[in-house]
Amino acid sequence: MQALFICVPATLGTLLCGELAMMVLDFLVKKNELGATRLRETPKRSLDEGQARLLVEKFALTANNITYAAFGEAMNYWGFYPAESGWGQIPVWGFASVIESRCPGIEPGERFYGYYPMSNQVVLQPKRLAPAGFMDGAEHRATLHAVYNSYTRCSTDPFHDPTTEDAEAILRPLFTTSWLIDDFMADNDFFGATASGTGLVMLSSASSKTAYGTAFQLARRTGIELVGLTSAANVAFCESLGCYRRVLAYDQLDQLDRDAASIYIDFAGNAALRRTIHSHFAHLKFSSSIGGTHVEQLGGARDLPGPRPVLFFAPAQIKKRSAEWGPEVLGRRLLESWREFIHTTCRTTDPWLMIEHHRGAEAVVAAYQRVLSGRDDPRRGRMLSLSDLPI
């Protein structure tokens, strides 16, 4: 591989004068067969005026990213980093540093948290620059949702703590949703499930990080009994989290009182499980569709008994609370909860999240296949890198 020597500022750590790859390395998956992958190597192209090149230092990979791929076509997740026909680049959350810039206000060495491709480097077109960060102004991203086009400057970001940044890459996008789900449920008085006694709130894929974040928040509410539903292999892990009142394997649903006023918060997207729940409970007050971890068992909700499942749309709750509380109060509340959550996550004794690093093409492919298989240890948080930097 050819290499170029380029000087970069001290914020890139020990690599003050680093050897930066001339080649762009992208991890691609076949859109209609997510287990088929390949690495694409292309020479890096020169920057246009207004563009910046960022070295993608490291990124997280969880079932959330697999869901981006599974819904890539329907929800346009393939649109962020387009690839050649039939292939796609899965977007991931992570950290990148500017290594070259033709954009005034974006300086080499600055680090940004955001939505990157599974690559070693990326070219962005920063616009709407602010102390907090920038938006990518690339034309092909103009119609995509703003939350994914925003890049946050680590040096000014109150959520950022360099000592826990791996956990941040893994959990931040997930916990924001968790926090909003909890707020949404409380804001709607649990859809009447708590009106005449304790309401049953069931979470599927209870071992997932997003479900755990949701349970972490919901566990402080009164009037609800939190039930975690998971696969048999993950029951003990869910129990160890300490926030589910009960944890049941998917085939133990009949242990739950069918007359209980209940709510279903669905992270699994499993069509058969959804039907079982909707059929079992006579007083299902609300059914919320959040995710689709069970990629092999996804399906529609036609002719389902009970309430129609409602897709949870996090930006709508953000908009509502911004209007009611003001963006500053909303941001402050979220930050307070985040700090508490991350403190629990990264506690030195008995942390629930064990971070594992995977660097280099081979390791990235293996980690991807592991996450895709659905048989990964739920305690693992996987940080990947295709760059030459130590992570």
- Judge residue 84's burial from the number of C-beta atoms within 10 Å of its C-beta, 0-12 exposed, 13-18 middle, 19 or more buried: exposed
Beta strands in the chain (DSSP E): 3-7, 17-21, 23-30, 33-43, 52-61, 87-88, 91-101, 111-117, 121-124, 126-130, 133-136, 150-153, 199-203, 224-230, 246-249, 261-266, 283-289, 310-311, 354-359, 380-385
Closer residue to ligand NAP, CB minimum distance, 185 or 290: 290
| Token pair 């690339």 in the structure block, residue | 138
**CB-nearest residue to ligand NAP:** 374
For the CA atoms of 235, 239, 244, 250, the dihedral, rounded to the nearest 10 degrees, stands at: 10
Under the binding rule (CB under 6 A), the answer on residue 378 touching ligand NAP is yes
* Segment 293 to 332, residues that bind ligand NAP, using CB under 6 A: 293-295, 312, 314
Which residue in the set 89, 205, 262, 337 belongs to the binding site for ligand NAP (CB under 6 A)? 205
Under the binding rule (CB under 6 A), the answer on residue 206 touching ligand NAP is yes
CA distance between the termini of the chain: 21
Q: How far apart are CA 70 and CA 64, in angstroms?
A: 10
Backbone angles phi, psi at 210, to 5 degrees: -70, -40
* Segment 234 to 263, residues that bind ligand NAP, using CB under 6 A: 234
**Interacting stretch for ligand NAP, rule CB under 6 A, among 57-65, 150-158, 332-340, 362-370?**
57-65
Supply the minimum distance, in Å, between the C-beta of residue 189 and ligand NAP. 22
Q: How far apart are CA 237 and CA 61, in angstroms?
A: 20
Distances (CA, A) of 228 to 151, 253, 317: 34, 11, 24
Closer residue to ligand NAP, CB minimum distance, 122 or 290: 290
Supply the minimum distance, in Å, between the C-beta of residue 63 and ligand NAP. 3
Under the binding rule (CB under 6 A), the answer on residue 67 touching ligand NAP is yes
Closer residue to ligand NAP, CB minimum distance, 59 or 267: 267
Non-local CB neighbours of 289 within 8 Å, separated by 6+ positions: 266, 269, 309, 310, 311, 312
Instruction: Name the amino acid, one letter, at 325.
Output: W
Which residue in the set 351, 374, 379, 388 belongs to the binding site for ligand NAP (CB under 6 A)? 374
* Segment 78 to 117, residues that bind ligand NAP, using CB under 6 A: none
Supply the minimum distance, in Å, between the C-beta of residue 323 and ligand NAP. 20
* Segment 262 to 281, residues that bind ligand NAP, using CB under 6 A: 267-268
Using an 8 Å Cβ cutoff, are 87 and 97 in contact?
no
Binding mask 152-191 for ligand NAP (x = CB under 6 A): ----------------------x--x--------------
Closer residue to ligand NAP, CB minimum distance, 209 or 359: 209
Closer residue to ligand NAP, CB minimum distance, 55 or 238: 238
Closer residue to ligand NAP, CB minimum distance, 306 or 381: 381
What's the token pair of residue 131?
């102390």
Supply the minimum distance, in Å, between the C-beta of residue 49 and ligand NAP. 35
Q: How far apart are CA 232 and CA 362, in angstroms?
A: 31
Q: Which residues bind ligand NAP (CB under 6 A)?
A: 62-64, 67, 174, 177, 205-210, 230-231, 234, 267-268, 290-295, 312, 314, 374, 378
